[in-house]
Chain A
Amino acid sequence: MSGPSTYEPKYAAERWLDKRLPIIRMSVDFMGFPSPRNLNYWYAFGGILTLCLVAQIITGIILAMHYTPHVDLAFDSVQRIRRDVPFGWLLQPMHAVGASMFFLAVYIHMFRGMFYGSYKNPRELLWIIGCLIYLAMMATGFLGYTLPWGQMSFWGATVITGFFGAIPIVGESLQQWLLGGYSVGNPTLQRFFSLHYLLPFVIAALVGLHIWAVHHVGQNNPIGIEPKSKSDTLPFHPFYTMKDAFAIAVFLMIFALFVFYLPDALGHADNYQRADPMKTPPHIVPEWYFLPFYAILRAVPDKLLGIILMFGAIAVLFVLPWLDTSKVRSMRFRPITKWFFIIFLINGFILGWCGAKAPDAIAIPIGEHGMTFKWLSRISTLYYFAYFIPILPVMGWIEKTKPLPESITKAVLSGDA
Chain B
Amino acid sequence: MSDTDKSDENHIGEGGEPTRRDFIYIATAAAAAVGGGAFAWPLVSQMSAAGDTRAAGSIEIDLSKVSEGQQLKVLWRGKPVFVRYRTQKEIDEADAVDIASLPDPETDDARFVANPEGKINKHMLVMVGVCTHFGCIPVGEAGDFDGWYCPCHGSHYDTSGRIRKGPAPKNMVIPKYTYISDTVIKVG
Contact = CB atoms under 8 A, between A and B. Distances in A.
A79 B138 CA distance: 30
Contact of B77 (A158, A163, A182): A182
A405 interface: no
B166 A301 contact: yes
B77 A178 contact: no
B134 A277 contact: no
A158 B75 CA distance: 16
B63 interface: no
B152 A185 contact: no
B4 interface: no
Chain A interface, >50% SS class = loop
B151 A182 contact: no
Contact of A180 (B53, B134, B154): B53
Contact of A159 (B79, B80, B152): B152
A176 B75 CA distance: 17
A298 interface: yes
Contact of A302 (B47, B53, B73, B167): B167
Contacts of A278: 73, 75, 80, 137
Interface stretch (A32-40, A218-226, A280-288): A280-288
Interface in B130-188: 133-137, 151-154, 166-169
A183 interface: yes
B169 A303 contact: yes
B135 A162 contact: yes
A379 to B, nearest CB: 18
Chain B interface, >50% SS class = loop
A302 B79 contact: no
Interface string A157-198: 011001101100000000011101111110100010000000
A159 B168 CA distance: 13
Contact of A277 (B49, B53, B80, B169): B80
A359 B154 contact: yes
B42 interface: no
Contacts, number: 81
Interface residues on A, range: 20 to 34
B2 interface: no
B109 to A, nearest CB: 25
Nearest to A277: B78
B7 interface: no
B50 interface: yes
A182 B79 contact: yes
B104 to A, nearest CB: 12
Interface in B36-55: 47-50, 53
Nearest to B153: A298
9 smallest beta-carbon distances between A and B, as pairs = A183-B78, A182-B77, A162-B134, A159-B134, A280-B136, A280-B137, A162-B135, A158-B135, A181-B53
Given A280-B152, A301-B167, A302-B169, 20 more contacts: A155-B136, A162-B135, A163-B134, A165-B135, A177-B47, A180-B47, A180-B50, A180-B53, A182-B78, A183-B77, A184-B78, A277-B78, A277-B79, A278-B80, A283-B151, A283-B152, A298-B167, A300-B167, A303-B167, A306-B167
Interface of A: 155, 158-159, 162-163, 165-166, 176-178, 180-185, 187, 191, 277-280, 282-284, 298, 300-304, 306, 359-360
